[in-house]
Chain A
Amino acid sequence: MSNIDKATVAKIARLARIKIEDQKLAPLAGELNQILNWVEQLDEVNTDNVAPMASVVDAKLRWRSDEITDGDKQESVLKNAPKAEYGFFAVPKVIE
């Protein structure tokens, strides 16, 4: 039985980088528990000796040849950027 508490919701939100207001933590915990308790019905299925599905298509990964076919499009790369300066993306300063 899943029992996610407010602290766990806060931790997940932190991992997912989504700010969640304090007063929304409890209701969200409720929703997540409801969904998780429901998906836990999978515990009924015996999956001993079952390999997890590795790919949907029955094919091998195709390889491309080692050629330079892309790049040299700084303008396109930066075109939609909320902030770009001197050819760089600019983001709020990272404090190390």
Chain B
Amino acid sequence: MSDLTKLKIAEARNLLGKGELSARELTEAHVKAVEASTPLNAYVAVTADQAITMADAADAKIKAGNINGMTGIPVGIKDLFATKGVHTQACSHILDGFKPEYESTVTQKLWDDGAIMLGKLNMDEFAMGSSNETSYYGPVKNPWRRGTTDTVPGGSSGGSVAAVAGFAAMGATASDTGGSIRQPASFTGTFGIKPTYGRCSRYGMVAFASSLDQAGVITRDVRDGAIMLASISGFDPKDSTSVDLAVPNFEAAITGDIRGMKIGIPAEYRQDGMPSEIEALWQKGIGWLKDAGAEIVDISLPHTKYALATYYIVAPAEASSNLARYDGVRYGLRVTPENGSLDAMYDATRAAGFGDEVKRRIMIGTYVLSAGYYDAYYLKAQKVRQLISNDFKSAFEKVDAILTPTAPSAAFAPGEKTDDPLSMYLNDVFTVPASLAGLPGSSVPAGLDANGLPLGLQILGKPWDEETVFKVSGVIEEAAGFTATPSVWWR
């Protein structure tokens, strides 16, 4: 296998710019790597021919001196971004055969910059899951194993992290609703960032929970994350929640200089029963930042413990409504019982098209919005959500960024948590609060646990201040010196 798949985006950019590497070569190497990655089940659709065509176009662009950060870079696309004429099903059976007639803004921006699509990446069905075990296309395997035991890649962006960690894409788009970028990044030793809500357009992104969904990226290091996030960010008039602000130069923010910066350590994230390895890693992270000249400030986010419960009301409520459009009328799966009425068609189509977790969340969401329960559940949750957001606001009056662990554990084995929805939900305990508040957050690989599995640290920033997130992420990355890679067992 060619070493080309081990290149970082920034490295490839240099070689491409100097003419020492062509997009075609780079892409061909990756197409092969994608084929070889089948045991990971990271890809649900491969667009090899399209990739070669796009690579040639990128080479022409480069030759014309028209190159930017993503030109000629082969990437994978999470299956919930609409890609014109290409499989787009959010890994749900209900979107069976759906090929959109439109392109999502996020992917269009990548193609406009000359990036190359390798294929569509596996994910939890409609992004509902934390282990990529709810996909209609089967679970994704984490390139990192616990000895010879498989582990899950985290979720919902399981395909994105597996492809990037498994050298089957230089970067991948991902989406984060309650932690779906950061938690899988932590499980796979990759860098993941979810920007401020409103930074990336949601146009053409299959919706899970509209007030929480935000696109982001998975890459192998912080700099690559800055390059790729810059490409997909920016105002889009087609999304009413997209905000008209200029996109800063994220890459330039990675200076390594955090002297005098105030880093908040929230007391409430120190939870009973937290594995000692997680606690130890967090302390290490605190030490690295202190060593780099930052001031560590104890802060309080008093409503943290209610974030998960809030999330598991708000997200299913929005989802129950967002997923009502999958009704067998205009696209996707249709199941009609013999002589069935329209209603029978709805019931049968949705019963066959949605998996158990999606059904569970639709049911919860329907219930919490229903007559007589709205105030007790949904309205209450939106009030608590406001309190959670206020907590962050007060904290950010005192600090520039917040450091926490990304996930309460390293990657676990498949099936370990599928029987108990609540224990699965607890995976998002550290990531959900920032999602509720719409804040930017990253996960940086920072160490390995006793089993040799990666662990990440989470950096949260103020709204629209991804630059600080990148700056602090860069310092953690540098100090951690995380160079481990999974042993390649799948090729």
- Chain A interface residues (CB < 8 Å from chain B): 4, 8-9, 12-13, 15-20, 28, 31-32, 34-36, 38-45, 47, 50-53, 55-59, 61-62, 64, 73, 76-77, 79-83, 89, 91-95
Contact = CB atoms under 8 A, between A and B. Distances in A.
B389 A80 contact: no
A44 to B, nearest CB: 8
Contact of A32 (B237, B320, B367, B380): B367
Given A19-B351, A31-B421, A80-B98, A56 B344 contact: no
B341 A51 contact: no
Given A16-B363, A50-B387, A52-B379, 18 more contacts: A4-B367, A8-B367, A15-B366, A17-B347, A18-B351, A28-B360, A28-B363, A32-B363, A34-B422, A39-B381, A42-B306, A42-B309, A51-B383, A55-B211, A57-B438, A80-B332, A92-B336, A94-B341
A93 B331 CA distance: 18
A15 B346 CA distance: 11
Interface in B204-229: 211-212
A19 to B, nearest CB: 4
B237 A62 contact: yes
Given A31-B421, A57-B243, A59-B243, A91 B329 contact: yes
Given A39-B377, A51-B386, A53-B385, A81 B422 contact: no
B20 interface: no
A80 B387 contact: no
B101 A92 contact: no
A57 B351 contact: no
Contact of A81 (B331, B333, B363, B379): B331
Interface residues of B, number: 67
A32 B381 CA distance: 17
Nearest to A49: B383
B363 A91 contact: no
Contact of B384 (A20, A47, A62): A47
B350 A93 contact: no
B249 interface: no
Contacts of B477: none
Contacts of A20: 351, 359
A8 B384 CA distance: 27
Contact of A57 (B198, B345, B380, B422): B198
A15 to B, nearest CB: 5
A38 B424 CA distance: 13
Contact of B101 (A38, A52, A79): A79
A74 to B, nearest CB: 11
Contacts of B443: none
A57 B241 CA distance: 7
Contacts of A93: 341-342
25 contacts: A12-B370, A16-B320, A16-B362, A18-B350, A18-B359, A19-B350, A34-B422, A36-B364, A36-B377, A39-B312, A39-B381, A42-B381, A45-B383, A47-B387, A51-B386, A53-B389, A56-B438, A57-B438, A80-B100, A80-B332, A81-B330, A91-B342, A92-B336, A92-B342, A92-B344
B69 interface: no
B104 to A, nearest CB: 16
Contacts of A92: 336, 340-342, 344-345
A34 to B, nearest CB: 7
B343 interface: yes
B309 A38 contact: yes
Q: Which of B333, B359, B463 has the most CB of A within 10 A?
A: B359
B99 interface: yes
B348 interface: yes
Contacts of B437: 56
A17 B382 contact: no
B345 A18 contact: no
A64 B240 CA distance: 10
Interface string B171-213: 0000000000000000000000000011000000000000110
Nearest to B102: A76
Contacts of B383: 45, 47, 50-53
A35 B312 contact: yes
A25 B161 CA distance: 36
Interface in B318-366: 320, 324, 327-334, 336, 340-348, 350-351, 354, 359-360, 362-364, 366
